Amino acid sequence: MNYIADMRKLIGHETLFTVGCGVIIEKDGCILLQHRTDEDSWCIPGGVMELGETFEEAARRETLEETNLSVGELELFGLYSGEDCFAEYSNKDRVYSVQIIFKATSYTGELVQAGSESKEHRFFNKEALPANLNQRQQSFIMDWANGRKTPVIR
């Protein structure tokens, strides 16, 4: 079952409400970012919850799918809602996606550099983040870089 594809058949490009879950993976004071294949931007691993999943299950699944890493203990980093959560994709699909962001400092597995959703993965320090951060994720990446008190609630 593909919930989003099924809903799109019913509503076309109209705004779909989703819940996204992502993980800020931190190593030696740096953040892991992935360079997306569908646009020239950098973001954290994550994606949309599937029906019946918990926030943590979705974050772990998406991280494993996109990076081949199994994250250790997850700490709530932030809850993001509001105007910044609206997006329109290049195919004209519109979405409003509330974001549940976790942070992890431990993981296992071998980082896969490229896949269906990413061109490469790289750790960046706070002072050298790429200029082309994903617009839908820029707020929580910058909250991390600026050392915001957690959990961030917006």
DSSP string, 102-118: EEES-EESPPP---SSE
Output the pLDDT for position 35.
95
Domain range spanning residue 104? 3-153
Output the pLDDT for position 1.
59
Pairing of strands 152-153, 46-48: unpaired
pLDDT bin (cut points 50, 70, 90) of residue 14 is very high
Q: Give the total residue count for the chain.
A: 154
Pairing of strands 30-36, 42-43: antiparallel
| Residue 39 is among the residues annotated as catalytic for this protein | no
CATH code for the domain of 105: 3.90.79.10
Task: Report pTM.
Answer: 0.93
From 56, 57, 120, 127, the catalytic residue: 120
The domain total for the chain is: 1
CA distances from 121 to 31, 86, 98, 148 (A): 10, 26, 24, 24
Q: How far apart are CA 64 and CA 134, in angstroms?
A: 20
